[in-house]
A and B are shown apart, each in its own frame.
Chain A
Amino acid sequence: MGIQGLSKVLGDNAPSSVRENDIKNYFGRKVAIDASMCIYQFLIAVRSDGQQLANDDGQITSHLMGMFYRTIRMVDNGIKPIYVFDGKPPELKSEELTKRKERRDEAQKQLNKATETGDTETIEKMSKRLVRATKEHSDDCKHLLSLMGIPYVDAPCEAEAQCAELVKAGKCFAVGTEDMDALTFGTNVLLRHLTYSEARKMPIKEFHLNRVLKEMELTQDEFIDLCILLGCDYCDSIRGIGPKKAVELINKHRSLENIIANLDKSKYPIPEGWLYKEARQLFQKPDVTDASEVELKWTDPNEEELIKYMCEEKGFNEDRIKSGIAKLKKAKGATTQGRLDSFFKVSLSPSKKRKSDSKDAGAAKKKGKGGSGFKRGK
């Protein structure tokens, strides 16, 4: 998922691009959230005694529970979330998806075995590995969101790419996802742990692309090449090249073409029919809906329908849903004020510091030696 080991690479090579922040500090911010990832997360994490939540009819409700409460947590802190749902996966991803399916099949096998032997630990572990976010889950969530008055967007393709598009166009401040490739798609700010439960007390981790590029002295295209080298969902990477070597190579050669030309192929064989150019293209120009065609509107929650859906249909406790609705309503009033800076100027840069820009300041880079300069005498 995402880019192999990117967060660690950034921590090592661009420490100033990463910072932790309290959720309160995002008051008034619009954040595009990768919905498919959230649902998956909820299906795994929202459990009771290791079992997914379900209503009396046996319908799974973990995702709705997560979506409802964690959205409220964000809204309660003044954040305006926009959910973005995955569309059709890009063709390049099919290999990755096949791999995932193989892993799932393997997990299924182990689960069956564990069920026979009654190994509860393995059962729980494997059933988590088998979790898949289905279209039904997504549809449930979309319905819930529309009742809550929270906007969502259906991406034509990858959700992260669509999220990044919204940020690039200035419609949102950041992308909320655990998937680091939103940065590769060009979002300037990525927030991790945004949809974690309050109880985990996990601070939000903020990544800033502009700082990454500045500190690592890379252009966005070079950064994309680095990500492909680290390992992405769309093509293979070169065996034997770890994060350290990848950074070194990109610094030295600046592009995959140059790296390939200079690499010792006997030591690092290039994957056969390597589709890095196509993967790069996908990161540079992903299939997204133009941000100008996306309308984002936060409306009042539909109290009546929400109670009907969540309590009557899905069996949630009515009092709790009501108190959730109350929070939604209260927050709606508070956030209309917005942040002063979003009214006057959107300053996305985490620091106001300006590095020097006179590129060629300095002493002479090379000096010829004249015949009778300051010469050694005797």
Chain B
Amino acid sequence: MRMTELHSDCFPTTHLLKVKMSENLGRSRRFKNQGRDTEDGRRKRNDASVELRKVKKEDQLMKRRNVTDIDIEEPVSPLQERSGNVAKPAMPILPMPQIISYIKTDDREKQLHAALSARKILSREYSPPIEDFIQAGLVPRFVSLLGCHDSPSLQFESAWTLTNIASGNCDQTMTVVKAGGIPKFAALLKSPDCNVREQCVWALGNIAGDGPHLRDAVIEAGAIDSLIALVRPDTKVPLLRNIAWTLSNLCRNKNPSPSLQSCCRCLPVFAQFLCHDDAEVLGDTCWALSYITDGSDDKIQAVIDSGILPRVVSLLSHNETQVITPALRAIGNIVTGNDEQTQAVVNSPSCLQTLGHLLSHSKANIQKEAGWAISNITAGNQLQIQAVIDAEIIPGVISLMSNGDFKSQKEAVWVITNLTSGGTLQQIAYLVEVGVLAPLIGVMTAKEAKTVLVVLDAISNILRAASKYSEEAKRLLCIQFEELGGVDKLEMLQNHDNNEIYEYAQRLIDTFFSEDEADTDSAVAPTQDETQFGFVVPSGNEKGDNPPANFNF
């Protein structure tokens, strides 16, 4: 009690809130907490946070004392909570033989003691002895205890024990499934006890996360609808987190991937989750969306049709990496879809600009993923390429190609190669204008053969574009390419181990830089400043109805 008072004193704001709450009592009673006493709720929450503080304090004390006596009771189990104010003597953790003998009795007290001990042992962070429990043949027993509807505490402790066993490797998870865990957990999602419900959500998440097979088994047990039914306006955040994560596992994994139908069932609740402000709920929801969109175009379409795209785009600007990463992955997956689906992303307000900003995010992985997403947009049609250019993100791509880590550089190269293979002459000229050549030549000597080929593609596309326009444009571009050291590098690549690279380099030299091609006669040397050459392209479309624009580079 002393603690509670202390707590209220420290936070005078709660008083203010309290007053406000009582003023509004009449109104608020009408909805959300209908039938409940808000004052009572508030007091409970206060108590809860005090309880948590106590735990934390004890934890810290323990650390300081350097004691790790697991015997000391943490008030984490509803067992103690339910026992009310009557202080019960702490139950010591039983050793394994006693757990085995207690769990087999019909005595609820003993069973409970055994289950509690089991879950405590399995809750230790460092290598919990899952295998010992499996070898002792206890899994079927715990599964059958899930059916003790007269003792929610026992159901809860058993569910927790099984959750942690199911968190092990495939074989370990399988023991829980073989003992008939899935239908029991699925049924308990409707348990009257909130702790039991929540624990079963988690257990099912672990089972579904094992792979496509068990995922489908959980889906067939009807878990999706029951999970969705648990989402109500007053559902607490920890439970929401569990639900979001478990649902994400139900949308996850391939070979085969989950059915379109079951993904579609989850989408409305994901839309709801996206309006939440808890980073963990947002993160897991975005992961779920990323799993769904990492599939066929009809799944991508279902996600677009659910109307969540604008919200996911806005999450790209979230301040937590755990939200940005999956949101970005989902957007990146959507633009691997068909032109229309890509266009839906392009049309999302400020999406391209945000992707551009992410190219210089502090996390290298996010830079890379942003590059990947953009590369799939420049793999689209010419309007989409133009949208990327108009969003002024190409300079960011070019700087990523020079300064990013290798994975990011590769993605930047893809952006350029895709753009040069599908873009108009003018769009390609724009690239040259903003200085793509030097960094592109820089990555010509990358270690990875595949990347070199992609770079050569880009270079070949650019040279061809210039040739398509005019002999003069080609000549000027070739000179610049040579001055930037590109030809030297092509010659180096002629000695490359990889046959394809060597042939490609040779072909480019033959076509664009062979003796009779490179006219070094001073009479046709550029009249402009030595460092500035122009290659003139029509500014409109390739047909060139519009007056030509001169791009200097």
Contacts and interface: CB of A to CB of B under 8 A. Distances in A.
Q: Which has the most chain B C-beta neighbours within 10 Å: A217, A372, A377?
A: A377
Interface in A351-378: 351-356, 361-372, 374-378
A94 to B, nearest CB: 36
B76 interface: yes
Interface in B71-118: 74, 76, 78, 81
A374 B296 contact: no
A372 B76 contact: yes
B122 A368 contact: yes
A200 interface: no
A243 to B, nearest CB: 15
A15 B376 contact: no
B296 A355 contact: no
A261 interface: no
A243 B357 CA distance: 48
B379 A251 contact: no
Given A345-B457, A356-B332, A363 B283 contact: yes
A345 B460 contact: yes
Interface residues of A, number: 35
Contacts of A353: 335-337, 376, 379
Contacts, number: 129
Given A352-B418, A354-B372, A361-B329, A374 B238 contact: yes
Given A377-B48, A378-B81, A363 B287 contact: yes
Contacts of B379: 351-354
A365 B248 CA distance: 9
B256 A371 contact: no
Interface stretch (B51-59, B138-146, B147-155, B226-234): B51-59
B125 interface: yes
Contacts of B284: 363
A215 B464 CA distance: 34
A16 interface: yes
Interface in B166-211: 166-168, 173, 195, 198, 202, 205-206, 209-210
Contacts of A199: none
Contacts of A252: 213, 256
Contacts of A345: 457, 460, 504
Contact of A367 (B81, B206, B213, B291): B206
B173 A366 contact: yes
B450 to A, nearest CB: 12
Nearest to B54: A377
Contact of B202 (A16, A367, A371): A367
Contact of A251 (B76, B255, B338): B255
A326 B44 CA distance: 94
Nearest to B249: A365
Nearest to B507: A344
A365 B209 contact: yes
Contact of B120 (A15, A362, A371): A371
A252 B335 CA distance: 29
B464 A340 contact: yes
A217 B44 CA distance: 52
Q: Which has the most chain B C-beta neighbours within 10 Å: A217, A351, A364, A376?
A: A376
Contacts of A366: 166-168, 173, 205-206, 209-210
A354 B47 contact: no
B421 A217 contact: no
A16 B123 contact: no
B477 to A, nearest CB: 16
B254 to A, nearest CB: 5
Contacts of B164: 368-369
Contact of A16 (B44, B297, B332, B460): B297
A370 B124 CA distance: 6
A345 B70 CA distance: 66
Contacts of A363: 245, 248, 283-284, 287, 326
B51 A16 contact: no
Given A15-B298, A356-B333, A372-B59, A367 B48 contact: no
Nearest to B329: A361
Contacts of B372: 354, 356
Nearest to A250: B256
A217 B254 contact: yes
Contacts of B124: 370-371
B464 A344 contact: yes
B93 to A, nearest CB: 11
Nearest to B288: A363
B348 to A, nearest CB: 18
B158 interface: no
Contact of A15 (B55, B198, B296): B296
B290 A362 contact: yes
Contacts of B160: 369
Contacts of A376: 76, 78, 195, 198, 238
Contacts of A369: 123, 160, 163-164, 167, 202
B51 A378 contact: yes
Given A215-B296, A367-B167, A362 B123 contact: no
Interface in B406-424: 414, 418, 421-422
Contacts of A375: 52, 55, 74, 76
B128 to A, nearest CB: 6
Contact of A352 (B51, B252, B297, B422): B422
Given A217-B257, A354-B379, A376-B195, A368 B163 contact: yes
Contacts of B427: none
B375 interface: yes
A217 B259 CA distance: 13
A102 to B, nearest CB: 39
A339 B206 CA distance: 53
Contacts of B283: 363
Q: Which has the most chain A C-beta neighbours within 10 Å: B168, B210, B249?
A: B249
Contacts of B128: 368
A217 B256 contact: yes
Contacts of A371: 70, 74, 76, 120, 123-124
Contacts of B49: 377
A364 B55 CA distance: 26
A363 B49 CA distance: 28
B294 A377 contact: no
A217 to B, nearest CB: 5
Contacts of B254: 217
A354 B51 CA distance: 51
Interface string B413-453: 01000100110000000000000000000000000000000
B252 A377 contact: no
B296 A16 contact: yes
Contact of B329 (A347, A356, A370, A377): A356
Given A344-B460, A356-B372, A362 B291 contact: yes
Interface string A244-281: 00000001101000000000000000000000000000
A217 B202 CA distance: 29
Interface in B261-299: 283-284, 287, 290-291, 294, 296-298
15 contacts: A251-B256, A252-B256, A345-B460, A345-B504, A354-B375, A356-B294, A356-B372, A363-B248, A368-B163, A369-B123, A370-B125, A371-B76, A374-B238, A375-B76, A376-B238
Given A362-B248, A362-B252, A368-B123, 13 more contacts: A16-B296, A347-B421, A351-B379, A352-B379, A353-B376, A366-B166, A368-B128, A369-B167, A371-B120, A372-B74, A375-B76, A378-B47, A378-B78
Can you list the 4 inter-chain pairs with the closest CB atoms, starting with the nearest? A377-B48, A371-B123, A352-B379, A365-B209
